[in-house]
Structure 1
Amino acid sequence: MRFVDLSVMVEPTASEPVPVEIEFVSHAEGADILGRAGGIGREEFPDRLGISLEHVKLTSHSGTHVDAPAHYGPFSEGKRARTIDELPLEWFYGPGVLLHCDTGAKEPVSAQEVETELKRIGHTLAPGDIVLINTGADRLWGSAEYFTDFRGVTREATAYLVEHGVKVMGVDSFGFDAPFSRMLAAYQASGDQAELWPAHVYGREREYCHIERLSNLTAISRPTGFTVACFPIKLKDAGAGWSRVVAMVEE
């Protein structure tokens, strides 16, 4: 069994427009903190060292994370949209399907592109499949362009996957829709609200989750025949949760 890490690092980087902040508390400082209630300091600890810790400030959408239906809107399928802590664990462990959409195109991945790629790899979607879309965007991780230069996925492609039984899908870019600036410019030019976060908004009609900021998808090295684990952290009432996404590939 080969394990492939599909997650980006949670770290301060130009790729995160909302900065991740990590404050490190050293082992020596940890001794002072732990001993304070008992009136002792680091001098009393073995080697004058306690245990370290970190204070981390980030959003629920920093790093590799799973978006819940509650992120897309307050309702989904006519009911209150479920938050990340309410979703069934069965959704987040299952057969993986890797779609290669790293074509150099600028526009979002279309439904026709998804259908063509499925035919190329000879796979028929089944309920429980977890679909991962490789667009090559993870090559920009670490740069500001990661936030601005990627394809995204269309509403139509999202609907195609959901209508074929897929509950969880993911992409290797900052967001699932097109870059923010591109969507806003399209709306300003047309006045059409459908230009604004269309794949996300589709989640108000049909319940599904998508994973943003995957990486290393090419290391899976096969389109099917692997298992994906992408369990999200249980954040109470939250619209997203961080995930250490892993592909397990039988050698």
Structure 2
Amino acid sequence: GMWSYGDPYPAPQITQIPPPAWLDYPVYSQTVAMAVQSGTYLETAAHMDQSRLPIDQLPLSRCHRIDAVALWIPRGANEPISAADLERALTNAGFMLRPGDALLVGTGWDSQWYAPNYVTDPPYFLADAIDWVLDHEVALLGGDTPRYDSPHHPQNFFPKFFQSEILLLAPLVNMAQVGTARGKLTALPLKIKDACASPVRALWIED
């Protein structure tokens, strides 16, 4: 039931381990095989440059109870998000976006998690939207789309995006349940040595 980016990224597989013969009673366990960009994941610039900070060295201060702003910009398949959309949504939210904040953008695309076009046709960010994000010096950009850039209308912003220290969190779910546009974000990765990303359980905390 978990999506995959497709070849060369393997589809997640969970396999039952047979009960060991050296025990007098049965016990059960599983093996899990998947790419580090699976489910909802947190990613560093090491995705594009292996000399950059790997996920296992990410300080706790960058992923636990960080100040965050959540914006709601409804979008359907292959629909873009522009800088003007972000500015308008931020104005409507009534909060300032401060340097070092996390910015989360909800479109409602998580409702298509099991759809065949979930990965191939999601909403995406225009290049000017990413410029807007970088100009605001956010520490993390999260969204409920599995692909920030469009496979059909490539914006090619990722080399510029990852020149900064910004983190990427995607794809989020349940953003429609956010009650207030300012809160705290926790997204704790596994300490997978030298990996560029890790699956996380992302939590939105409202005071």
TM-score normalized by the length of structure 1: 0.73
> What is the CA distance between 1:104 and its match in structure 2?
4.3
Segments of structure 2 that go 5 or more residues without pairing to the other structure are none
**Does 1:174 pair with 2:146?**
yes
Aligned mates of 1:118, 1:142 — CA distance in 2: 30
Question: Which residue does the alignment assign to 2:100?
Answer: 128
- Which stretch of the first structure deviates more once superposed, 64-73 or 102-111? 102-111
2:118 counterpart SS class: helix
Question: Which residue does the alignment assign to 1:56?
Answer: 32
**Does 1:100 pair with 2:58?**
no
Task: Give the greater-gyration-radius structure (CA).
Answer: 1
> What is the CA distance between 1:196 and its match in structure 2?
5.5
Deviations for 1:112-152, whole angstroms, at most 9, x for unmatched residues? 21111111111111133211111111111112110122112
> What is the CA distance between 1:153 and its match in structure 2?
1.7
Q: Given that residues 61 and 241 in structure 1 are in contact (C-alpha distance below 8 angstroms), is that contact kept between their aligned partners in structure 2?
A: yes
Question: Which residue does the alignment assign to 2:165?
Answer: 207
* Percent of pairs with identical residues: 25
**Does 1:19 pair with 2:8?**
no
Deviations for 1:38-72, whole angstroms, at most 9, x for unmatched residues? xxxx4x3xxx32x3211111001111101111113
Aligned mates of 2:89, 2:166 — CA distance in 1: 21
Q: What letter is aligned with 1:90? A: S
**Does 1:67 pair with 2:24?**
no
Aligned mates of 2:102, 2:162 — CA distance in 1: 20
2:189 counterpart SS class: coil
Question: Which residue does the alignment assign to 2:55?
Answer: 84
Q: Given that residues 108 and 177 in structure 1 are in contact (C-alpha distance below 8 angstroms), is that contact kept between their aligned partners in structure 2?
A: no
Q: Provide closer, same or farther for how the CA distance between residues 103 and 213 of structure 1 changes in structure 2, counting only shifts above 3 A.
A: closer
Q: Number of aligned pairs?
A: 202
1:144 counterpart SS class: coil
Q: Provide closer, same or farther for how the CA distance between residues 85 and 197 of structure 1 changes in structure 2, counting only shifts above 3 A.
A: farther
Question: Which residue does the alignment assign to 2:198?
Answer: 241
Q: Given that residues 76 and 123 in structure 2 are in contact (C-alpha distance below 8 angstroms), is that contact kept between their aligned partners in structure 1?
A: no
Q: Provide closer, same or farther for how the CA distance between residues 111 and 98 of structure 1 changes in structure 2, counting only shifts above 3 A.
A: same
Question: Which residue does the alignment assign to 2:137?
Answer: 165
1:205 counterpart SS class: coil
Aligned mates of 1:203, 1:143 — CA distance in 2: 28
1:244 counterpart SS class: strand
TM-score normalized by the length of structure 2: 0.87
Determine which structure has the larger strand proportion and give its number: 2
Aligned mates of 1:218, 1:153 — CA distance in 2: 19
Question: Which residue does the alignment assign to 2:176?
Answer: 218
Q: Provide closer, same or farther for how the CA distance between residues 147 and 72 of structure 1 changes in structure 2, counting only shifts above 3 A.
A: same
1:234 counterpart SS class: coil
Q: Given that residues 126 and 155 in structure 2 are in contact (C-alpha distance below 8 angstroms), is that contact kept between their aligned partners in structure 1?
A: no
Question: Which residue does the alignment assign to 2:111?
Answer: 139
